[in-house]
A and B are shown apart, each in its own frame.
Chain A
Amino acid sequence: MGDEFMKLVIAIIKPFKLEDVRDALVALGVQGMTASEVTGYGRQKGHTEIYRGAEYAVNFLPKIRIEVAVPSDRAAAVVEAIIASAKTGQIGDGKIFVTTIDQAVRIRTGETDVDAL
């Protein structure tokens, strides 16, 4: 029942790209998203901070994680849009993961599944 009908697109992006990604998704007709501040690293190494005599290697970098819930048939277009708007070509652009949503509910009205997106 409703399996594979909805996808959760999770994207880890560079923080300054958030507005660009949001604009691209709005243009696609995506109704909403959730954004959170996270830290992480991949191939992009951290940096070194120096305070008087002390050096600290900071391995984790600030990123933004956005989550967008869409009907399965829209997922590919959303992924394309995120790639196009979040890409800089430099190491550290981030990653996108797509998972399946078992169930969705709109809290205010009680609508479920695709109607809730």
Chain B
Amino acid sequence: MTKHSGRMACGIAATLSLIFAAAPALAQDAAAKIDAADTAWMISATALVLMMTIPGLALFYCGMVRKKNVLATMAQSVACTALCSLLWFAVGYSLSFTGDAPALGTFERLFLRGIGMEATSAFAPTIPELVYVVYQMAFAIFTVALIAGAIADRMRFSAFLWFVSGWLIFVYVPIAHWVWGGGFLAGIGVLDFAGGTVVHLNAGVAGLVAAYVLGKRHGYGTDNFAPHDLSLAVIGTGLLWVGWLGFNGGSALGANARAAFAITATHLAASTGALTWMFLEWWTRGKPSVLGLITGAIAGLGAITPASGFVLPWHGVVIGLIAGAICFWACTWLKLRIGYDDSLDVFGVHGIGGATGTLLTGVFAVAALSASPDTPEGSPGLLEGNARQVLIQFYAVGAVLIWSGALTYVLLKAIDFLLPLRVSQQHEIEGLDLTQHGEALK
């Protein structure tokens, strides 16, 4: 999208919003549908999720790259936030969360038209629709920003912006529709409370594909790639962990007991994940690193995400433990075995963690907690005697994996046709801060 068509789009947006947003000014008493407590919580949760990207993820990632790429890594998070926000406003929300079609939404909410004071989404009937819009926007932003970790240190900024735009629309939006927007995965009864498939597996697979397409960093395996400043990564982890209470807790879409179950399982999974990784590293490498602690926590958080509102607290502990162990294995053994350069382990942590958690949701789901207007009896998991749920979860993992992997590959190849995805080797050696952005840390 060029600067010119972007300005034209803004003009169209202004016009359309004037035409379509004006109407429902008189509907005062329809506020009975909108619950104040739910709305207050969801606005707060939106802020928490947004914080997870800026500055949570920005710090988490930038602390782990080399000094010469710190600013560039942060720029990716910030630019991603801004770009995804506008694209979500324009078409993203509409194509994700409207209509009944199994594959994609409609254009009825193009540029958020037609949303009045009392409008609500069918998916979140007790909060204003715009709150739902921005809440989901924060999820979209986070998912796309995650991918940047896989291609850190080597992607051209212009190509990155193109990638962000295309990936949001062609990969994230369809999957969000399938799982949360009334699409075919929701139709078969997949359980994904806050984004094990939509966010983590999706970003993880995309990251892996991107890491392959872009190729390894210059000097990978021989040069010293030690993190610039892990204290920044720890701070980022704190913001992510705390923000995740909004990510998972807010996915209850209301201030209710399910949110309470969600944040409890979330927090316990993070804790268990951190300790599991710590002990595994202590045992296998002799010392418990702080990088291991924070990575384990994120692994636990990613894995509990699809399960959080559907499981009991002790399930959160178990899921955290399993995720910590599996992601540890993925990042320390599998990665070396397969030989990909996923700079910041997006696949090892979010991809594997998200998939693990999605499958475990099928194991641990509690019928009482997973009850919804569409399924009043709830969806029990394996432990409650319903093995079929695990198969449904497998199917969802497969669908997301295939779509994300294939479309990410096609998108990258298409962009590569227009401009190089990587910076030149000389620029990579000099560092992205200076060569892509003209800036440097002292």
Using CB atoms and an 8 Å cutoff, list the residues of chain A in contact with chain B.
49-54, 56-58
Contact = CB atoms under 8 A, between A and B. Distances in A.
Contacts of A50: 285, 287, 289
Given A49-B226, A56-B224, A58-B226, 6 more contacts: A50-B285, A51-B64, A51-B225, A53-B332, A56-B226, A58-B224
A54 B292 contact: no
B413 interface: no
Q: Which 5 pairs from chain A and chain B are nearest by CB?
A: A53-B332, A56-B224, A52-B331, A56-B226, A53-B335
Nearest to B344: A52
A55 B102 CA distance: 47
B336 A52 contact: no
B291 A52 contact: yes
B129 interface: no
A58 B225 CA distance: 11
B333 interface: yes
B291 A51 contact: yes
Nearest to B332: A53
B345 A54 contact: no
Nearest to B336: A53
Contacts of B295: 52
A53 B226 contact: no
| Residue of B226, B292, B345 with most partner-chain A CB within 10 A | B226
Nearest to B286: A50
A33 to B, nearest CB: 25
A51 B226 CA distance: 7
Nearest to B334: A53
Nearest to A50: B285
A8 B423 CA distance: 47
A51 B335 contact: no
Contacts of B225: 51, 54, 56
A49 B331 CA distance: 16
Nearest to B345: A52
Nearest to A53: B332
A31 B206 CA distance: 63
A115 to B, nearest CB: 38
Contacts of A53: 331-333, 335-336
A86 B356 CA distance: 55
11 contacts: A51-B64, A51-B225, A51-B227, A51-B291, A52-B291, A52-B332, A52-B345, A53-B332, A53-B335, A56-B224, A58-B224
Contacts of A49: 226
Nearest to B287: A50
B331 to A, nearest CB: 5
Contacts of B227: 51
A57 B223 CA distance: 9
Contacts of A56: 224-226
Nearest to B292: A52
Nearest to B291: A51
Contacts of A54: 225
A52 B230 CA distance: 12
Contacts of A52: 291-292, 295, 331-332, 345
B223 to A, nearest CB: 9
A60 to B, nearest CB: 10
A8 B220 CA distance: 43
A50 B225 CA distance: 10
B64 to A, nearest CB: 8
Contacts of B335: 53
Contacts of B333: 53
A61 to B, nearest CB: 14
| Residue of A51, A52, A56, A58 with most partner-chain B CB within 10 A | A52
